[in-house]
Chains A and B, each alone.
Chain A
């Protein structure tokens, strides 16, 4: 089987060529990005890609398992706080250690929270996930001696790959250069792993649970256990995003555990389209740019951001990726 056929097999029927071309262009353009734009612009894109990892993790639950979590800030924040604790107590500054700590911490907390949450579905699941995340937020806020309270914890510029890259003097240069590529590699690895998971037998079982919980049980799928595993994987991905994000931001405060940030993660998936694999990726990157534009152009940025998002959701009910896909289908069906 030639590579094009092999690729086509895994893409939605009918849009293979366009999808493959777009994907190839994007893949080629992203690594070249820092050489044509300012370091700040590169940093902005890498933040979007970091959010995209959280979006991917979140969407394993929403898009593939049918569970809407309103508490994913907990796992993003836990990944970030794990890094900050590592710096504060152990003086660690290795980025690889940060990532491992972030994934493990978020994985552990999602094991605990997930164990409770997966006993419920629908709105009950969503609210419970939200409530547990708020508990974590209040702990981080109140245990001042431990977490710095509202002051948060600082995270200095990390050492990448044991110092393989020379540390840049200027942090913006660093973020737009070495750290950009570091984030890019982490992003592509995360995408590849998640892609494999959703196309694995396990991923099929999750989609079966999403579509029909009763029948899934009657083909022998252990529904609750699989939901729990999905929850933990989802939390670990979101924790990875938090651990990647915090050195760039330089600071973690409880704000990133608050429910409004959970809402942003939900938005990544809804904006991009949670019924597609690429939806939350596109959604996260676009969201990040929209927020940047709203902040840059106006003092009433929250108003404009809200307005733009409302318009987007009303105009594109299946998200950006879903809508573009439909246009593609319509174009092909139109008589030549």
Chain B
């Protein structure tokens, strides 16, 4: 059974059919890449599934139960988490606290008014472990707002990962950084995804990254799914190549 399954999911913005009756499924343990040109509807699809936007029509099933009308909070509890294309962090909190908050939240500890956050050794240790996994431990006492862009992208992913979700959406984890930084960031992120055997959906433009890291690729165009398959299948798909890069094949 699929972990996530959408049925005829729809989101229109006026005349723009951003997500047009999409049936999208993710199986447990797989890493899916969502590809497509700008405006194809990838981010909107993730926004609707994660609860940032309400669906106009269609259903979202997660682990067999209908989560279409759940709040963001409810979906987080169910195990759906996401990172953001435009970095979304708590800029006046330290790198450490950005990650620690996810753990406190996951364990229902943010309801505690009268205990010192820093005195929670279990949370402290897990936070340090996660910061280490993402190579951010040396920056633990730096305010998130003062980190370099590449570090901010990594922290954005770490904050979502610290929720230990069953399904993790990563919205362009390498966008907005220099070409030189893309590979190191993707190596760290994919390293965590692989070693922790996460189920992840990654929106990505860099086709080298996509072909290298995905189990399955879903190509979107104008709000609908154009094609999906293994990296080999997509690599050989002329229609996808034409739509995405305007050439008959991916090199």
A interface residues with partner B (beta carbon < 8 Å): 9-10, 13, 193, 196-197, 199-205, 207-208, 210-212, 214-222, 226, 229, 233
**CB–CB B81/A218 < 8 A:** yes
Kindly identify which residue among B76, B109, B118, B120 contacts A9, using a CB–CB cutoff of 8 Å: B118
**CB–CB B50/A204 < 8 A:** no
**CB–CB A221/B117 < 8 A:** no
**CB–CB B120/A201 < 8 A:** yes
Q: List 17 A-B contacts (CB under 8 A).
A: A10-B118, A200-B113, A201-B101, A201-B112, A203-B113, A204-B101, A204-B117, A205-B104, A205-B105, A211-B90, A212-B90, A212-B91, A215-B90, A217-B72, A218-B84, A219-B163, A220-B110
**CB–CB B72/A211 < 8 A:** no
> How many pairs of A and B residues are in contact by the CB < 8 Å rule?
104
Assembly CA distance A219 to B144 (angstroms): 16
**CB–CB A214/B117 < 8 A:** no
**CB–CB B111/A211 < 8 A:** no
| Min distance, Cβ B122 to any Cβ of chain A, angstroms | 12
Among B92-100, B129-137, B231-239, B242-250, the stretch in contact with A: B92-100
**CB–CB A202/B112 < 8 A:** yes
| Min distance, Cβ A63 to any Cβ of chain B, angstroms | 10
Q: Tell me which residues across on chain A come within 8 A of B100, comparing CB atoms.
A: 204
Q: Which residue of B lies closest to A230 (CB)?
A: B113
Q: Tell me which residues across on chain A come within 8 A of B89, comparing CB atoms.
A: 211-212, 215
**CB–CB B76/A201 < 8 A:** no
If A200-B116, A212-B91 touch, whether A219 touches B102 (CB-CB below 8 Å) is yes
**CB–CB B117/A199 < 8 A:** yes
Q: Tell me which residues across on chain A come within 8 A of B92, comparing CB atoms.
A: 207, 210-211
- The yes or no answer to B69 lying at the interface (CB within 8 A) is no
- The yes or no answer to B45 lying at the interface (CB within 8 A) is no
If A197-B114, A200-B117 touch, whether A207 touches B93 (CB-CB below 8 Å) is yes
**CB–CB B110/A202 < 8 A:** yes
Q: Tell me which residues across on chain B come within 8 A of A193, comparing CB atoms.
A: 114
- The yes or no answer to B88 lying at the interface (CB within 8 A) is yes
| Min distance, Cβ B117 to any Cβ of chain A, angstroms | 5
**CB–CB B116/A217 < 8 A:** no
Assembly CA distance A199 to B120 (angstroms): 12
| Min distance, Cβ A38 to any Cβ of chain B, angstroms | 39
Q: Tell me which residues across on chain B come within 8 A of A208, comparing CB atoms.
A: 90, 93, 101
Q: Which residue of A lies closest to B141 (CB)?
A: A13
Assembly CA distance A203 to B97 (angstroms): 11
Assembly CA distance A219 to B73 (angstroms): 8
Q: Tell me which residues across on chain A come within 8 A of B139, comparing CB atoms.
A: none
Assembly CA distance A205 to B113 (angstroms): 10
Kindly identify which residue among A9, A199, A215 contacts B84, using a CB–CB cutoff of 8 Å: A215
A-B CB proximity, top 7 nearest: A211-B90, A220-B76, A215-B88, A201-B104, A220-B105, A205-B110, A202-B113
